[in-house]
Copies of this chain bind each other. A is one copy, B any other.
Amino acid sequence: MHPSPSTDLSRAAALAADAADPLAGFRARFTGTDDDGPDRLLYLDGNSLGRLPVETPAAVARAVEQEWGQGLVGSWADWIGHARRIGDLLAAGVLGARPGEVLVSDSTSIDLYKLLVAAADARPGRDVLVCCADDFPTDRYVVAGVAEQRGMTVREVEAHVDEGLDPGVLAAALDERVAVVVLSQVAYRSGALVDVAEVTRLARAAGALVVWDLSHGAGAVPAELTAAGADLAVGCTYKHLNGGPGAPAFLYVRRELQDQLRQPIWGWFGQRDQFAMGPAYEPAEGVDRFAVGTPPVLAMAAVEVGVRITAEAGVERIAAKGRALTGLVVELADAWLAEHGVSVASPRDPARRGAHVSLTHPAAWQLTQALIDRGVVPDFRTPDRLRLGPAPLYTRFVDVWDAMARLRTVVADGSWTTYPTERARVT
């Protein structure tokens, strides 16, 4: 277990935790981490967009200038394998999956659509899709779209907004009508974690498939897809995997299922013997059949750097530090902010938390703006959530301490009341 400063909430204890941090060396691998002054930027939004690794500009420049500029079309000899090769790095180093099960491709929303339709097709005669009423919008919307297109019914299960989904509530929603369950491993607002293995077992017992959305957890908490028996998953590489804004997503299909499934968008990169350009679509063997169009090779250069750093640090170590960092947020919130009307809106049990914590306050939007003006970057989630994501690879305990101290100042001196309200923003 990672050293936690939880028994001593002093700044000195935070500094001591940093001195004992086995991941401390990774901070220098990210740009913007060299300013150590008292007014430095405290970036707690790596759960939305991860920081830029120091190696990434050169990797992208190499892809642009050498591979494209000089290698031209001949570079396709290498590029053609990137989606699988980087997928295998993700599988082995981050997701706990086997070679040939992960592909870097498209966006999370599109990968979710592909796997959801494939899964629904694999459960003929079942007419219900299950999702979580508090899940990230794109998950709920994609489910609704597929249901409408296919004449299926959506069954939304309720999660506790702060504590996450109770597996018993999910179990009660599973019956012989359910074809597919779509669920995030880590809830986007509360950061609540669900047990992939447990939900997979529940769904399988009911004859349903689960498509996991690992977006808010990949690179921050273990997925261990093979050990969990997971069938299908998608996820994002621009959050905890530090792959860059709008970086391509990934999809995972358990090896034993691949040849039974077909996805609905029949593009030429999913075709067997692609360059024969034959008359009829025949899906490639293995995970390649879930590819569609020409892969975004320049963007993948950045994804590869992020994935390698995460694999090198180790997801278990990252998750352990993440629990300690978010634990410090929770303890400081209780100690400093509760009296000012700010409450913790995430699970208090570290084993049930992903890598971010939400705080709630009726004026969360104003607090967010006031914090940004004081050099702390959180994010806001409607209607009243302030999300703090201390990324273990580059956030120190002292950064969390200082950010919470600035938040304490903002709430205590009432300066947030001078900022426009959320209502003013959206209208």
Contacts and interface: CB of A to CB of B under 8 A. Distances in A.
A227 interface: no
A260 interface: no
A346 to B, nearest CB: 17
B246 A379 contact: no
A276 interface: yes
A266 B116 CA distance: 12
B31 A268 contact: no
Interface in A211-252: 236, 238, 244-249
Contacts of A249: 293
A296 B265 contact: no
Contacts of A302: 64, 298
A293 B381 contact: no
A295 interface: yes
Contact of A64 (B60, B69, B72, B106): B60
A45 interface: yes
Contact of A298 (B60, B136, B276, B279): B60
Interface string A260-279: 00001111110101111111
A61 interface: yes
Interface stretch (A16-24, A89-97, A141-149): A141-149
Given A107-B106, A245-B297, A264 B149 contact: yes
A68 interface: yes
B246 A297 contact: yes
A419 interface: no
A245 to B, nearest CB: 5
Contacts of A125: none
A236 B268 CA distance: 14
Contacts of A295: 246
A64 B57 contact: yes
Interface in A284-308: 292-300, 302
A177 B302 CA distance: 47
Given A43-B72, A145-B264, A266-B141, A109 B292 contact: yes
Interface string A57-84: 1001100110111101111100100000
B279 A140 contact: yes
Given A64-B244, A79-B245, A107-B106, A138 B267 contact: yes
Closest 6 CB pairs of A and B: A107-B293, A109-B267, A145-B266, A109-B293, A52-B69, A141-B281
Interface of A: 31-32, 43, 45, 48-49, 51-52, 56-57, 60-61, 64-65, 67-70, 72-76, 79, 106-110, 113, 117, 133, 136-138, 140-142, 144-146, 149, 236, 238, 244-249, 264-269, 271, 273-281, 292-300, 302, 377, 379, 381-382, 426
22 contacts: A31-B69, A32-B69, A45-B73, A51-B72, A56-B64, A57-B64, A64-B302, A73-B377, A73-B379, A75-B245, A79-B246, A106-B293, A110-B110, A110-B265, A113-B264, A133-B279, A137-B271, A138-B293, A273-B426, A277-B382, A296-B299, A298-B299
